[in-house]
Chain A
Amino acid sequence: MNKLVMIVGGSTLVYAGLAFMMGVLPGIELSRVPAGAGVEPLTALEAQGREVYVANGCGYCHTQQVRPLDEDRVFGRPSAASDFTYQTPELLGSERTGPDLTNIGTRQPSSVWQYIHLYEPRAVVPESIMPSFSWLFEVVDHAPAGMTAVPLPSAFAPTRGVVVPTHEAEALIAYLAALKQPAWSGSGGEGGAAGTTTAAPGSSSRPSAGAAAGAAAGGYDAAKGASLYTSNCSACHQANGEGLAGAFPPLKGNDVVNDGDATEHIHVVLRGLQATRVGGVVYGGVMPSFAARLSDADVAAIIDYERSSWGNHGTSIIAGQVAAERAKPR
C-alpha cells in the first residue's frame, strides 16, 4: 500500500504544485492587469454581439491578438496586456483561417459592408471560404420603419422581398464596429499627425528595396500597387474596380480618380469619406482613413494603381504629393 501512496499521492502532489504555479498563479496575477488608456467596457448591445460571436465559434477562424511582428502590422499595433481587461471569455484564438479582428472596427468601419459580408461573404470577397450567416437575417416584403434593407448584389439577393438583419446580427455588427485599438499611450500616437513622412506604424508592407526613393522617379511598382489594393481596397471597391451597386462606389470611370488634379483623390484615401455621391448615386457607407495605416509611398502606389487600371486614365502621382496632402491641417 505504501508504494501506491507514494506513486499516486506523490506525483499528484507534485502535479498540483506545478498546476498552481503555471496555471493558477499567472491567472491570478494577469487577471489584475488594469485597463489601458482608452480601453472601455462594451455597451449592452456590443456585449450581446460578443455573445453571438462566442456562441457561433467565430474565434476558431479569427484571432484577436496582434503580434509584435512585421507580418501582423496590417492588423494594427501589437496587442498589449492592458487591452484585455474587459475580455472574458478571452478570444485570442489559435488559428487565422480568416484575418485577425482586433482592430476590425477601424479597418472596416462600414456596417453596410459588414452586413453584406455576414449575409454572404462571397458577395464582397469572391474567394472567401467563410460560412454564410444568412440565418442571422430575415427576408421580409418591406424593411420595417427605421431599418434599412441590406443592399445585396442582385446575384445574391432573394428573388422576392428584402433582407433585414435580426437583432443578433445587429448586435454582432455593433460588436465588430467596437473592435478598435486605442492608440498607444506612450509612443507618438498615430501617423495622422502633420508632417509624418516615414512609414506609419500600420504600413502594410515592408518597404521593398528602393521603394521609398523609387516611387519618386515617376514609374510606379505596379505589382506593389495591385497587392496593396487587394489588401486595403478591393473588399469594397472590388477587384474589377466596379464597387457594389448601391453599396460601394465604383472607381472605374470615377470622376475623382480620373481628375487631372489628384488632390481630392489623395485626400479621400488619407482621410476617408462619409456619405458621397458618385455618378448620381448616393452612397451612405463609411470609408476608413488610411493616414495612420499606410506610408506615403504605399498611398501613392495604390492611387497610381487605381488611376491606371480598368480603363482609367488619371495622371499618376508621387509620394511627395501624398506627404504634402498629409501635412495640410485637417
Chain B
Amino acid sequence: MQMEVKEDRALISVFCAYTVCATLWLLFATGVGILMAFKFGAPEFGSGAWLTFGRLRPIHTNATFYGFASIALVGLGYYVAARSSGARLYSAGLAWIGLALFNVAALAGTIALDLGYNDGDLEYREWPWQIRLIFLAALMVTGCNLIATVARRASKDIYLANWYILGGTLWTCIIAVVAIVPQYQYGLGQVAVSGFYMHNAVGMWFTPLALGVIYYTLPKLLNRPIYSYALGVFAFWTNLLFYPIIGAHHFEFSPLPWWLQTVAIVFSVAMLVPVWGGSSNFLLTMRGRTRDLIHSYPLMFIFVGVMSYLIGSTQGTLEAFRSLQQVWHLTNFTVGHSHLTMYGIIAFAIWGGIYGLLPLATGKRASTLGMALHFWMALVGCFIYVTSLSIGGTIQGLDWMHGLPFIQSVIDMQSYYVWRGVGGLLMFLSHIVFAWNVWRMCYGTEAVTLPLQALRADEAAA
C-alpha cells in the first residue's frame, strides 16, 4: 500500500457518485419501509393499487438490495481495489456506464413493480427478467473493470479484500443467470431455484463485498495489518464451499426433497467455520485498541458490522435447525433476522467504509456530531426493530403451535408491530443524517489534509 497513486481524480468522482446514488436509494427504500410499517397498524392508510402493501414490499427489498447496497458496495469496491493495488482505476468510463445501468435497472424495476409487473412473488428476483438483464450487464461491466484494475497492481500479491470483492462480483453474475434461465423453473423446480437464489443473492454478493471492504478499511483505519492473512484466506474458501449449499433451509418442511433440506441444515452448521473465522480475525485485529475504537465512528460502524456478522450469522445457523424452524418459520422472526443481517452487517459495514474511506478520497469529512447521530439512531433503531420482531415472531409461532385461532397471532403481533415502526423510524431518521454527512464528505467545505491525524486529534481531545 506504499505505492498509492495520488490524485486519481476519476476514481474519486466515481466513488462520490456511487455513494450519492446509493444514499438516495437508501432514503427511498427505507421511506417505503416506514410506510409499510405504518400499514401494519393502519391498514387503510394509503389504499389503492400503487400503494398496496404487496407491491411496496418487493419495492422496499429490491431498492435496498440493488439500489442502495449494491451501488454503495461497488463504489467502495472500486476504491478499495484501486488503492489496495496501488493502481489507477482501469476505466472511469466503464464505471460510469455501470452506475448508469445499476440506476436504470433499479428505477425501471421499481416502476414495473409498482405497476404490477413482476416475474412472480419470488423474493429478491421480482423484477421482470429484462430488467434483471440490465442489472446483470452492470455486474459484468463492474467485474471486468475491477479485474482490469487489480491486474494493474504494482505488487505480486493480491490483497485479500480484492479476493472477496472480485469473487463476489463474478459469483453474482452466475447467480443472476441461474435465476433468469426458465428451463428448469417449473412448479417445485422453481422452488428449489428460489431457495438457492434468495440465499445466495444475499450471502454471495453483499457479504463478500462487505467483508472485502472491512478487510481493507479496518487495517487502514487502525494502521496495523490484519490479524491473520491465512485465516482470511481460509474463511474465503470455506465460505465459498459451504454457503451455496444452504439455500434450501428457507424451505424447511416444504415438499422439497427432505435430503436437500437436511444437507442445507448440515452446511448451515458448517457456516460457523467461515463466520467465526472471519469475525474473530476482525476482532483480533482490533484487540487492545478499544480506545481508538470508541473515539472513531468509522471504526464503531465497522465494529457493529462485525458483531452483527458474528451474531446474525450464528443466529442463522441456529434458525436452520428443524426444532427451531418449527417455531420461527413463516413468522416475523425471519424479518428480524434479515434486518439484523442486511442492516446490521451490510449497511453498517458500508457506512464504516464510507466514513472511513470517503474522507481519504475527497479530503473532506463529516462532522463528528453528524456521524454520532447517524450511528446511535441507526444502532438503537435496529436494536428495537430486531428485538421486537424476534419476540413477536416467537409468540406468533407459539400461538400456532398451541392451536390458537389464527387471528390470535395477528392480534398478539400488534404491539410488536408498533415497536417495529418506532425502530424503523429511528433508522430512517439516521439515514437523513447520513445523507447530510455524505453531502459534506463529497461537496462540503471542511477540508482535512490528513484524516488519520484528525482522528488522532479527536482521540487526544477526548
Q: Which residues of A contact B (CB under 8 A)?
A: 1, 3-4, 7-8, 11-12, 14-16, 18-19, 22-24, 26-33, 54-61, 63, 65, 67-71, 74, 79-81, 83-99, 121-122, 125, 127-135, 204-206, 227, 230-231
Contacts and interface: CB of A to CB of B under 8 A. Distances in A.
Interface in B156-196: 156-158, 163, 166-167, 170-171, 174-175, 178, 183-194, 196
Interface string B147-163: 10011000011100001
Contact of B54 (A19, A60, A69, A204): A60
Contacts, number: 250
A305 to B, nearest CB: 13
Nearest to A68: B253
Given A14-B241, A24-B184, A134 B250 contact: no
Contact of A8 (B44, B53, B170, B175): B170
A290 to B, nearest CB: 15
A230 B178 CA distance: 45
Interface residues of B, number: 86
B460 interface: no
A263 to B, nearest CB: 28
Contacts of B43: 121-122, 128-132
Most buried by A among B240, B334, B406: B406
A3 B187 contact: no
B247 A16 contact: no
A22 B245 contact: yes
Contacts of B251: 65, 92
Contact of A61 (B41, B53, B175, B403): B53
Contacts of B331: 95-96
30 contacts: A4-B150, A4-B158, A7-B163, A12-B167, A14-B240, A15-B170, A15-B171, A30-B187, A30-B189, A31-B188, A56-B55, A56-B116, A57-B54, A57-B118, A58-B121, A61-B53, A69-B253, A74-B406, A79-B255, A83-B255, A88-B186, A88-B187, A89-B121, A90-B191, A92-B251, A97-B332, A127-B410, A129-B39, A129-B43, A227-B405
B234 interface: no
| Chain B contact surface mostly | helix
Most buried by B among A56, A205, A227: A56
B56 to A, nearest CB: 8
Contacts of B151: 1, 4
Contact of B330 (A22, A29, A96): A96
A201 to B, nearest CB: 15
B288 interface: no
Given A30-B187, A65-B254, A69-B253, A18 B192 contact: no
A30 to B, nearest CB: 4
Nearest to A79: B255
B244 interface: yes
Interface in B332-357: 332, 334-335
A302 to B, nearest CB: 12
Contacts of B147: 4, 8
A128 B410 CA distance: 7
A74 to B, nearest CB: 7
A3 B157 contact: yes
Contacts of A85: 186-188
Contacts of B253: 67-69
Given A57-B55, A58-B54, 5 more contacts: A31-B184, A71-B403, A84-B191, A129-B40, A227-B403
Nearest to B116: A55
Contacts of A1: 151
Contacts of B236: 11
B446 interface: no
A287 B194 CA distance: 37
Given A8-B147, A60-B57, A89 B404 contact: no
A23 B255 contact: no
B240 A30 contact: no
Given A134-B47, A206-B403, A95 B171 contact: no
A11 B167 contact: yes
Most buried by A among B407, B410, B411: B407
Nearest to B401: A71
Nearest to B40: A129
A14 to B, nearest CB: 6
A63 B330 contact: yes
Given A22-B245, A81-B188, A89 B254 contact: no
Interchain residue pairs A-B with the least CB separation, the first 4: A57-B54, A89-B120, A31-B189, A59-B121
Nearest to B396: A96
A27 B163 contact: no
B409 to A, nearest CB: 8
Nearest to A226: B405
B351 to A, nearest CB: 27
A79 to B, nearest CB: 5
A89 B411 contact: no
B117 A55 contact: yes
Contacts of B47: 131-132, 134-135
Contacts of A135: 47-49, 52
A307 B76 CA distance: 69
A79 B403 contact: no
Nearest to B123: A94
Contact of B255 (A8, A80, A88, A134): A80
